[in-house]
Amino acid sequence: MKRTDIIVPITVAQYSELSQTEKTLVDAARAASTSAYAPYSRFSVGAAILLSDGNIVSGSNQENAAYPSGLCAERTAAFYAHSRYHEAKFETIAIAARDTSGAETPAPIAPCGACRQSLLEYETLAGHPVKVILYGADEIFILPSVQSLLPVAFTDFQ
């Protein structure tokens, strides 16, 4: 047997340390979290994607009583971004959340497995790493790619 260690580099930052472009994207994700429809979990998530043409597309989680018919913020943003701007490539995604009291989460939250797999498809389509910014009010995690979130991913094995 052989052992392989997977190491994921994460930069831990404060909001003040972000570039202006990163702040704009994080602010869009934070704003999107306020438009979530989350009457069941009361956990509101916002995502914002910077595209290669400069557009920023945001989305929020949308729940439904017919669980699991709702959709996470990351996929809401990704699906709209690609359907609306199909020629543009994903560059960066920022994700922010609010807890059940409506306050921004102090620690960053990461996408669910389904969102990680979906976002990886768009990273593959982009042909380059898509930076991931996970916002928390107390600290921010910056990952170099979606692949960093899902290092052992399901891929097309043709």
Taking phi over 0 as left and psi of -120 to 50 as alpha, with beta for the rest, 59 belongs to beta
Catalytic hit among 22, 74, 91, 123:
74
Sign of CA dihedral 72, 84, 120, 128: negative
Active-site annotation holds for 74: yes
User: What does each C-alpha distance from 149 to 36, 47, 67, 108, 133 come to in angstroms?
Assistant: 23, 15, 25, 13, 11
Provide the annotated active-site residues: 74
